[in-house]
Structure 1
Amino acid sequence: MTRIMIAPGRYVQGAGAMNEVGKHVALLGKKALVLGGKRGLDSVRDAMKKSFSENGIEYFEEHFGGECCDQEIDRLTAIAKQSGADVIVGVGGGKALDTAKAVAEYMKVPVASIPTIAATDAPCSALAVIYTPEGVFERYFVLPHNPNLVLVDTNIIAKAPTRLLVSGMGDALATWFEAEACSFTKAPNMPGGEGTAAALALAKLCYELLLEYGLDAKIACEAHAVTPALEKIVEANTLLSGLGFESSGLAAAHAVHDGMTVLEETHKAYHGEKVSFGTLTQLVLQDADPDTIYEVLDFACSIGLPVTLKQLGLKDVSYEKLLPAAEAACAEGTTMANMPFKVTPDMVVNAMLGADALGRAFLEE
């Protein structure tokens, strides 16, 4: 198997980066469909309007319906075709950005990702996670290339709710452990090749930055302050996690997240919060060194990531209640197959119960 590493065409990050958005988007097209949620669009509108005008870009906005599902993608693609857009600009969180990437693929035009939160690694990936209209995971839509532009204004990120930054750290937390598992099995990464040494090193750096700067970044975000720690964590959540997962591969942590989406009680928990618990589950499942497990528990608790199923909204936890999630996590085509050993639903349920017990015990210490 050949080694493959993929990445966005251009990554721009910093306080006030939105003031330069027109300069970068002008390299991609001159008529933009800008789609996003109300909060996301409100946070960028003034700077985007000015910068687009200065760079000769015509644009129009369309509100994103809230779920990255086939129906919403089809609706927005029809609007993009009717308007003659030659570039798609996604603004907001992971689902809005994934939808923009899917629309751009159907339109065969470039796409720019402008995250207004640092809650997932979606901005950089050549992937759209497709859900049902009700929010249940359906499939991964693998795209032929990464976004042409990813632009992150850390002034905007610092003003977003801190829980979203913390959730992003939960998503990024899985990157190294899943990459490591895939390196053992030589499992194919998202573009279908073997991971590179560079991608594995970036995944490790992502984990190291989380441990070193995560708490300081959370504190800075609570003060709406852009500090060096916040900049490092935004980069870890967005760029390093994106490059690490995509070019190294996913494993149990994300499979557990995907499985938990069938449990309606977890729908109020954010993606990264469920992935964080999936990371603990993966560590239990693979019999990781206790020092590593407690390092992850300590980090998660220090920044407020959930370490128990109750914190994810699940009440009256039992084997029977978790079994549907475990079965979904182990279904054909999931990333559970990238683990270094055969994993069954029974093993996943027991690992989830074991992770939950460790989390409860840690909280009581």
Structure 2
Amino acid sequence: MSKIFISPSRYVQGPGEMNHVGEYAKRYGNKALIIISRGGYKRSGEQIEASFADAKMDFVFDYFNGECCMTEIKRLEGVVREKQCDVIIGIGGGKIFDTAKAVAYYTDHPVIICPTIASTDAPCSALSVIYTDQGQFEDYLYLKANPNLVMMDTTIISKSPVRLTVSGMGDALATYFEARACQRSDALTCAGGKVTQAAMAMAELCFDTLMENGIKAKIALEAGACTPAVEKIIEANTLLSGIGFESAGLAGAHAIHNGLTVLEDCHLMYHGEKVAFGTLTQLVMEDVDADELDEILDFCVQLGLPVTLKQLGIENASPEKIMAVAKAACAENDTIHNMPFEVTPELVKNAIYAADAYGRQALSFLK
């Protein structure tokens, strides 16, 4: 089996980049469908319109309905055809990106991803995570190609709620550990091949960047400052984690996230917050040494990422609830089977309870 490495065609990051979105879009088509939330339009609509006016390019806005589900994707496919758009732009957060990528896939058009937050590694990938209309994980949609362009305006991102960037660090935290597991098991990655040295290097750089800059970046963002540490974390959350997870592989952490989506208790938690707890659970399943587990627990606690079931919103962690999570995480086609040992729902359930206990102990040290 060949080794495969994939990535977006172009990645642009810097302050004020949203002023150039029309110029970038003109390279790919004649009329853009811009998928954005109502709140996103209120914040950035005038800036985007001015950019398209400067580029002398036609565009259509359409408000995102809130869920990356087939109902929404099919609706937007109809808009593309009705308005005769030939380039898709997703502006906002992770579910908007995944929806824009899916719409571009089904209509065979180029896609530009413009995050206004750095909360997931979704922007760079050739993957859309599909949910039901009610918000439960349904399936992975593997796309023909990565986005044509990913554009990160760090001025906008640094003004977004700090919790979102911290959530992005929770998502990125899983990258190296899942890549390591896939390398050990010789698993197939999301790119359709085996792990490359380049992908492993990016996954490890992602982890090192988080450890060296994560706390500094959070403090700076809370002060309203966009510092070099913030710039590095935006890149780690988006580019390094995006390429790392896709070309080096997913394993336990994201599967446990998917399992947690079956509980309504967790629906107010962000993707990266659930992935962070999934990472702790994966490390427990792997029986890593105490120093490594303590390092990750300390990092999560300092950032405010959830390390207990209660912090995830699960007040009553009954065996029935946790087994439902474990069974969903062990679904036949989910990535937990990329772990370098056999994984059963019973193993996952016990690891979840143990991760929760370690998390409660770590929090008790703060009192």
Relative to the length of structure 2, the TM-score reads 0.98
For 1:109, the aligned partner's letter is H
How do 1:235-314 and structure 2 match up within 5 A? 235-314=235-314
Percent identical among aligned pairs is 56
Query: 2: distance between equivalents of 1:215 and 1:120?
Result: 17
> Where in structure 2 are the equivalents of 1:43-82 lying within 5 Å?
43-82=43-82
CA RMSD of aligned residues (A): 0.8
Counterpart AA for 1:119: S
**Aligned-pair CA distance for 1:44:** 2.6
Output the amino acid matched with 2:10.
R
What secondary structure is seen at the aligned counterpart in 1 of 2:7? coil
Which TM-score applies when normalising by structure 1?
0.99
The aligned counterpart of 1:109 is 109
| 1:306-325 paired onto structure 2 within 5 Å | 306-325=306-325
Answering whether residue 212 of structure 2 is matched by residue 209 of structure 1, we say: no
Runs of 4+ in 1 over 6 A off after TM superposition: none
Counterpart of 1:58, as a letter, is: D
Partner of 1:178: 178
Provide the aligned length of Structure 1 versus Structure 2: 365
**1:236 is aligned with what amino acid?**
A
SS of aligned partner of 1:199: helix
Write the letter of the residue equivalent to 1:227: T
Q: How far apart, in 2, do the equivalents of 1:117 and 1:360 lie?
A: 30
Letter aligned with residue 107 of structure 2: M
Deviation at 1:22, TM superposition (A): 2.0
Paired residue type of 1:323: M
Gap regions ≥5 residues in structure 2 = none
* Aligned position for 1:93: 93
Once the two structures are superposed, residues 291-312 of structure 1 have per-residue CA deviations (whole angstroms, 9 ceiling, x without a partner) of 1100000111111101001000
**Are the aligned partners of 1:15 and 1:226 in contact in 2 as well (CA < 8 Å)?**
no
Q: Which secondary structure does the structure 2 equivalent of 1:12 belong to?
A: strand
Amino acid at match of 2:265: E
Aligned to 2:13: 13
1:333 corresponding residue in structure 2: 333
CA distance in structure 1 between the partners assigned to 2:120 and 2:218 by the alignment: 15
Cα distance, 1:60 vs structure 2: 1.0
CA apart distance, 1:318: 2.8
Match of 2:131 in 1: 131
Decide whether the 8 Å contact of 1:41 with 1:92 is kept in 2.
Answer: no
Distance 2:47 2:209 in 1: 30
The range that moved more, 3-12 or 221-230, is: 221-230
- Residue 326 of structure 1 and its aligned partner are, at CA, apart by 0.2
Quote the offset at 1:64 in angstroms.
Answer: 0.3
- 1:47 is aligned with what amino acid? Q
Q: Distance in 1 between matches of 2:55 and 2:270?
A: 37
Q: What is the SS of the residue equivalent to 1:123?
A: coil
- Cα distance in 2 between the residues matched to 1:121 and 1:262: 22
Deviations 1:252-273 (A, max 9, x none): 0000000010011011111000
Conserved in 2, the CA contact under 8 Å of 1:43 and 1:116?
no
